Chains A and B, each alone.
Chain A
Amino acid sequence: MNDKNEQKQSSMRQYLKGSILFPILVLVLYGILFLTNPDKAWPALKNSVSILQSLLIPLCLVFVLIFVINLFLNPAKVAKYLGKTSGLKGAVLSATAGVISVGPIYAWYPLLKDLKEKGAADSSIAIFLNNRAIKPFLLPIMIAYFGLLFVIVLTVLMIVASFAIGYVLSIFMDINRPKCTD
């Protein structure tokens, strides 16, 4: 148990380190560029600023959406959905939980492990993980870049695909289960 906890913590630490390290590396890169090649550094920075400007309004919408979602949903409720897993209803609930889940994936692994040990189906967990790709509050950004039609088509297909993955995965897991010793 302790071993697992340590592993969990070290992967979390790695993640945190990554999230600080990356911005620092980028800043260092810019620092070097400004010293060695300022002619290229300025356009690069200007380009970045203009991208950020174009993201400003979508980001404001993102804030509003997160706010509304926070009012009605929270991780405790997500857990309630995920705990119940049976048939189609279970699949739909896992998908819903995946869509509304927030935060880095590392925060979810311990909970998923716990749910799996408590008997949550493999397919439900796979469906949950795959539906994390769909984030209602990020739709303004997605629409700004790709257009509404693309977003609708992609979202629908991805939900269908997540069910297919859950189904195929559970078949494979069941086929091999008797041979498995772990």
Chain B
Amino acid sequence: MKIAISSTGSTLSANVAAQFGTAEYMMIIDLDTGDLEAVPNPGKGQQRGAGIQAVMLAVNNGANTVLTGYCNPAIGRQFESGGIEIVTGISGTVAETVQSFKNRRVKGTDANPDQPAGEASKTENKKYFNAARTALRQLVNILPIMISIVLLIGLFNTFISKQMLASIFSGNPLIDNFLGACFGSFFTGNPINSYIIGGELLKHGVGLVAVTAFVIAWVTVGLIQLPAEMTALGRRFAVLRNFLSFLMAIIVAFLTVSVLSLAGSVS
């Protein structure tokens, strides 16, 4: 059995970190073999996304239980749904924590020693509740930008006539496809917004090839986040991937519309 302890240093005498996500190190201890490994926490000093990186670290190192001072409830739920036990409120040194954890196991006492019979169904309910809450949050996160885009489309529909659009998207599939991919590459965001914009463009008479290329490039090609991608994954990788994805957007758009017209659903 492996346990992970968030700590302020890389030795057994280091203190247990007060915050899980932003701790300096994560100590991975194999209780069966006594092996100990100090892994630097990639989320150290970060404000957002730190917790989830630490969760991945614990999961990737095969921890069964995580011990820490505090971790926010959202992160705690990630652990619970991943089948990892999380124990918070820990203080003192790593060595003390390991010892007291071992004692607890030897005595056979659990974190909740007097677990009532109804507890199992309660955790089951909690799981559904958590999933619903996360779903709601994810949906609410999408909404501000989505509603703004719909509002912009409202303006667009009022001010831009079909003729004006037709002067950009001429109906030549080759040029339209390329233009659609260009627009999609430049703008970016949640895919839902590309569906809405694309769908509205379609209603305005823009060709399906252009709209398809736009929808594909929206997520797969990102000029705006290119600098961030280069920083994270290397310049060559990022440029090459975006370039290939741009080409692929054009090709897939053609293929999609060809397949559909073969199937007879596009006139």
Contacts and interface: CB of A to CB of B under 8 A. Distances in A.
A144 B220 CA distance: 22
B152 A111 contact: no
A44 interface: yes
Do most interface residues of chain A lie in helix, strand or loop, or is the interface mixed? Answer: helix
Contact of A23 (B138, B147, B263): B147
A11 B218 contact: no
B92 interface: no
Contacts of A161: 248, 251-252
Interface residues of A, number: 86
Contacts of A126: 237, 241, 244
A176 B131 contact: no
B175 interface: no
A44 B232 contact: no
Contacts of B138: 66, 102
Given A23-B148, A75-B52, 9 more contacts: A9-B47, A46-B154, A48-B153, A48-B154, A76-B79, A109-B231, A116-B234, A154-B216, A180-B236
Interface of A: 2, 4-5, 7-9, 11-12, 19-20, 22-23, 26-27, 29-30, 33, 40, 43-49, 51-52, 55, 59, 62-63, 66-68, 70-71, 74-77, 79-80, 83, 102, 104-107, 109-114, 116, 122, 125-126, 129-130, 132-133, 135, 138, 141-142, 144-147, 149-150, 153-154, 157-158, 161, 164-165, 168-169, 172-173, 176, 180, 182
